[in-house]
Amino acid sequence: MITAPYWRAPVSVTRVMGWVLLALIPAIVLHVIFFGPVLLAQLLLASVAAVAVEALLLWVRRRPVVSAITDLSALVTAWLLVLALPATVPWWLTLLGIVIAIGVAKQLYGGIGQNPFNPAMVAFAALIVSFPAELSRWPLPTTPVAWQWASFLGTPNVDALASATVLDTLRTAVHSGQAVSELLGRSPVFGTLSGAGYEWIAVAFLAGGLLLWLRGIIPGRLPFAFLLTLGVLSTLAWLVAPERFAPPWVHLFAYSTMLAAFFIITDPVSGVVTPRGQWVFAAGAALLVFLIRHFGQFPDGVAFAVLLMNLAAPWIEMKTQPRVFGEDHP
């Protein structure tokens, strides 16, 4: 039993960002084991570019450079963007994404703490509307590393060695009249639960996210509400029309689901801080993800869902202010 007074450990941006980077490492290690070292080159390129763009824009805006680039926030954005993109996208696409994320979505809006939208998701959305083909070619565990390097370097090559994500594959097939059960397990895209290889990286995201939750870096209700809502919705849809909708485990263990649940919607700047509002924010994001995945045009709905909820965040916060002790009920 510890008695008061307590001494609180100082919480700094650098510390929080450092923990987030650490929590991403299991997923990165598994990614390298399954798909080879191309991801490391992407991470290196994105990290260097992110710090360079951040430093350049801070210098242009006459803001302190060193304290802002040593807070690791640019690295978190860079790593999240790289992990959201297929590891085999050409280098210039990653670079362009970093310029949009750090340059436009973060610094032009006023730098850390000022951005209304999640920078990594802004960049992802800009890239997916502009380069849909590049962003729907995900490497498979069987994709040769040499091909992945060629793709990263942007040399023209056949694109038969990579494929769409599980959800994208399923949706395309359902749209062309095939049943889900005909597809599950019959294509190299599928693993045990969801995408081959990617399902285990999703588990690593889950593990890293639980670490962040235990350390008190992220509130547990955000990923919980997100996964719960997505799970309930996909279960209901699957029970009603099993031939049209993917089973819930495919949704929940999809790579982008776990990344979003623990690392994207938990962004405190573009998200919601009121406790009740966080339930609304996460559940709303999950609902939009489900709708966009099934009825949308693009391979995955996470980026658009998060951006739409970012737009709604100030309003959600306004409507969910906690009652101050002693204040009357409205």
* Site residues (vs another protein, CB under 8 A): 96, 104, 126, 129-131
Q: With beta carbons less than 8 A apart as the criterion, state whether 97 and 81 touch.
A: yes
Q: With beta carbons less than 8 A apart as the criterion, state whether 286 and 278 touch.
A: no
| C-beta of 135 vs 170, nearer to another protein | 135
CB of 150 to another protein, least distance (A): 16
| C-beta of 11 vs 129, nearer to another protein | 129
CB of 129 to another protein, least distance (A): 6
CB of 209 to another protein, least distance (A): 31
| C-beta of 130 vs 181, nearer to another protein | 130
CB of 228 to another protein, least distance (A): 33
| C-beta of 126 vs 252, nearer to another protein | 126
| C-beta of 100 vs 230, nearer to another protein | 100
Distance CA 290, CA 283 (A): 11
Identity of residue 108: L
| C-beta of 130 vs 192, nearer to another protein | 130
CB of 68 to another protein, least distance (A): 21
CB of 256 to another protein, least distance (A): 21
Question: Which pairs with CB-CB distance under 8 Å and at least 24 residues apart come from 320-329?
Answer: 320/272, 320/274, 320/275, 320/276, 320/277, 320/280, 321/274, 322/274, 322/275, 322/276
CB of 130 to another protein, least distance (A): 4
| 304: its two tokens | 């658009």
CA nearest to 152, candidates 80, 78, 92: 92
Q: 241-269 burial by CB neighbour count: b if 16+ within 10 A, else e?
A: eeeebbbbbbbbbbbbbbbbbbbbbbbeb
Query: CB within 8 A of 320, min separation 6: which ones?
Result: 272, 274, 275, 276, 277, 280
Q: How many Cα atoms within 13 Å fall on the side-chain side of residue 256?
A: 29
Distance CA 248, CA 234 (A): 5
| C-beta of 31 vs 106, nearer to another protein | 106
SS (HEC) of 214-270: HCCCCCCHHHHHHHHHHHHHHHHHHHHCCCCCCCHHHHHCCHHHHHHHHHHCCCCCC
CA nearest to 189, candidates 236, 121, 246, 132: 246
CB of 127 to another protein, least distance (A): 8
| C-beta of 129 vs 179, nearer to another protein | 129
CA nearest to 300, candidates 263, 264, 254: 254
